[in-house]
Chain A
Amino acid sequence: MRKPFLRPLAAVLLLPVAMLTGCGGDSKDGSSGGGAGGNTVKVGILHSLSGTMSISEVTVKNSELMAIDEINAKGGVLGKKIQPVVEDGASDWPTFAQKAQKLIKKDKVATVFGGWTSASRKAMLPVFERNKALLWYPVQYEGLESSPYIFYTGATTNQQIVPALDYLKEKGKKRIYLVGSDYVFPRTANKIIKAYAKANGMTIVGEEYTPLGHTEYSTLVNKIGTAKPDAVFNTLNGDSNVAFFKQFKSAGFDAAKLPVMSVSIAEEEVKGIGVANVQGQLVAWNYYETTPGAVNDAFVKAFQAKYKGAVTSDPMEAGYNAVHLWAAAVQKAGTTDVAAVKKAAAGISLDTPEGKVTIDGENQHVYKTARIGVIQPDGLIKEVWSSGKPIKPDPYLKTYPWATGLS
């Protein structure tokens, strides 16, 4: 009697053989020392190049690669060229964790630049902490974190959300409606906003969350209409913004009638939403393409020479800064060793497109200038308010009395 279902096992045999031959190279790579070995320094670039987040993260990957090219053109770090190893996180958090492990253990990279969503950062954090490796995370986030193995070059809450609230308060907006995507950043941001509102005589007249990728907002827009807020605080992410602003506008609202303060819409996203739908609305970031200064002029020019018709945005700039900050720390330390680089990084200051940034050695965030902007008819963003000087990062909001009990 034949047993056809046993024979296929033979095929299973082939697979590990393929893996073994494929991995023969791994051990060779491993023994050659990776990271700072030879004439190059390997660094990892780990962003989503596929999946829902790719539209945003690819631009950050591009600006990080551009920074690496710039440094290499000037001779690299410690006399060695930087060699990027690009991996795809695929908008999938467990993939981020595994790819981080691959970059650290197989490629033995000196550091990794990567991540966008908080979920991807949270997934990578244990990998970097346990392997004592370094991650540079370039996006504004919800704070309440300070890993010794992560440098945060995007804004924490007191450099983006708190200034945005200060601005609304200054403009006399007392009744606020909260709209957000259902994940950790909007929920944590709104927790902070509620605490701020309570201490500053503002009222939260509504709080709604929709799943990521949600596109039906007519009910929500109706609810906003009924609640009659003075302003909407928008923490929606990705595609949802397109649907939200279209339906918001077709319900008869515009920036003059009901301003919306958004913290996840930058130049890149304005293109996707359609300028007509968001024109005149408010955003809070640390950098705009229009931010004045010679460093930014050069950055925008170089980027647009490389990517025709592209805009530059805050997370791209933070990723670009991260590469330069790391290179400066390596030069100062004289080695790519993680402990030495961490030590050297404290207090490093650079003139970047957003102005002067300084690494706070204590929490490994950076001093950043907060900027409120208004979306212009040409799709760019004009600054209407700024903190004037870089704000000291305070991820746990320890210096704000109203925030006690939040962490």
Chain B
Amino acid sequence: MSARLRGYALFAGVAALFLVVAPLALPAFRLDELAKYLCFAIAALGIGLAWGQGGMLTLGQGVFFGLGGYAMGMYLKLHDAGGDLPDFMVWSGVDKLPALWKPFGNPVFALAAVVVVPVVIATLLGVLVFRQRVRGAYFAILTQALAAAFVILLVGQQGLTGGTNGLTNFYDFFGQDPEADSTQRTTYFVTAIVLGVLYLLARQLVKSRFGRLLVAVRDGEDRVRFLGYNPATVKTITFAISAGMAGIAGALFVPVVGIISPSLLDVVPSLELVVAVAIGGRYTLAGAVLGAVAMNYAKTSFSEQWADGWLYLEGALFIGVMTLAPRGAVGVYEQVRDAIARRRKPVPAPPTASEVPA
């Protein structure tokens, strides 16, 4: 069996596990939790693309996650209100629907906005930042500041955004009750399929000429520029794609968990996403997905087992992975594989990716 075929067989196996085995074996609310992990996995996939492949350490991915989530939340709120004001506007003293909200009453507009708004904002930011050759730690700090500023904006505009509470209490998700078991199953399938499709697309992108150019930009931006390419364009496009993925993840999160609030977009959750990618292994897309699912699963099970001290366990997990396996779980797998190969036939070790600056 060729490596290519083997890869597809493996993907089909994972897909079958998530689409057939998991729904049969898990009770509805566990499936709902798995759907939440998959939402984070979609956002992590974007980070894997931007950071792992493109070397752009984005610490503010929560912003795009939030933009997607709020676009979805605003539609659902308006739909529930049925022509009246959404509940939180009433208690925040808003008399008439703000102009910003009006177009979100249309489901097509709202669903388009889920992707378009994050992509447009990321593109604008990318054009401004990458053309000025801002990179490395400066880019990371900039994105983090963006997340912090965005949260302050959302919390401050209570009448417009629901403030700290965010948007919650949805009664009708495209004709279904979002808390019903059947709806939770449906949203799970949608999330899993979206993740699968986005993974295949991202993999195709990484394998393409563009993908090689992206890795080249990560490993030697100046050299790529001297060869006549424009690294700013490559980075902007990748950053916009990763923002779009985060937007989709945020939109799916709303029906899955039933709330979108500033606490999800803040610096800490944004960092958690990056940490998840690091744990899984940032140099492969599957590592990013694996990391997000594994870390969120660990979070749930640790906190259920040990409600008083689970955060220490999570911290220990992160420190352990970072010190023992800086390239993440996938890195460990590769190290073991290389070690076995070396023992069989001693060859000089290939340069590892960890020698490459992020």
Is A bound to B? yes
Judge whether B289 is part of the interface by a CB distance below 8 angstroms.
Answer: yes
Q: How far is the CB of B306 from chain A (nearest CB, A)?
A: 9
Instruction: Given A97-B168, A123-B165, check contact A6 B3 (CB 8 Å).
Output: yes
Contact A5-B297, Cβ < 8 Å, known A13-B14, A87-B304, A94-B263: no
- Assess the B257–A98 pair: CB atoms within 8 A: yes
A331 within 8 Å of B by Cβ?
Answer: no
Contacting pair A187 B92 (CB below 8 A): yes
Shortest Cβ distance from residue B239 to the other chain A in the assembled complex, whole angstroms: 21
A7 adjacent to B158 (CB under 8 Å) = no
Chain B residues lying within 8 Å of A267, measured Cβ to Cβ, are none
Judge if A9 is at the interface, Cβ distance under 8 Å: yes
Contacts of B333 in A (CB 8 A): 7-8, 11
Across the interface, do A5 and B25 meet the contact criterion of CB distance under 8 Å?
no
Q: How far is the CB of A260 from chain B (nearest CB, A)?
A: 23
B-side contacts of A3, CB under 8 Å: 3-4, 6-7
- Is the interface on chain A under 10, 10 to 19, 20 to 34, or 35 or more residues? 35 or more
Specify which of A5, A101, A119 is in contact with B261 (CB 8 Å cutoff): A119
Do the beta carbons of B165 and A119 come within 8 Å of each other? yes
- B131 CB → nearest A CB, Å: 30
**Main secondary structure on chain B at its contact with chain A?**
helix
Within 8 A of A (CB), among B45-93: 90-93
Which of B21, B307, B334 has a CB less than 8 Å from the CB of A16? B21
Segment of B26-34, B119-127, B222-230 in the binding face: B26-34
Known contacts A20-B21, A123-B165, A126-B168, A15 near B10 by CB under 8 Å: no
Q: Which of A23-31, A303-311, A350-358, A385-393 contacts B (4 or more CB under 8 A)?
A: A23-31
A207 located at the interface, meaning its Cβ lies under 8 Å from any Cβ of chain B in the complex: no
Q: How many residues of B contact A (CB 8 A)?
A: 73
Which of these, A1, A8, A20, A87, contacts B26 with CB under 8 Å? A20
Q: Which of B240-248, B278-286, B318-326 contacts A (4 or more CB under 8 A)?
A: B278-286
Q: Which residues of A contact B29 (CB under 8 A)?
A: 101-102, 105-106
Partner of B286, one of A8, A91, A125, A126: A8
A-B contact pairs, 7 of them (CB 8 A): A7-B333, A15-B293, A87-B307, A94-B263, A97-B259, A105-B29, A119-B165
- Residues of B at the A interface (CB closer than 8 Å) are 3-4, 6-7, 10-11, 13-14, 17-18, 21-22, 25-30, 32-34, 36, 90-93, 152, 155-156, 158, 163-166, 168-171, 177-180, 203, 206, 257-259, 261, 263-264, 281, 283-287, 289-290, 293-294, 297, 301, 303-304, 307-308, 310-311, 329-330, 333-334, 337
- Residues on A facing B (Cβ under 8 Å): 1-13, 15-20, 22-23, 26-27, 30, 49-50, 86-88, 90-94, 97-99, 101-102, 105-106, 117-119, 122-123, 125-127, 130-131, 142, 144, 182-184, 187-188, 191, 209, 211-212, 407
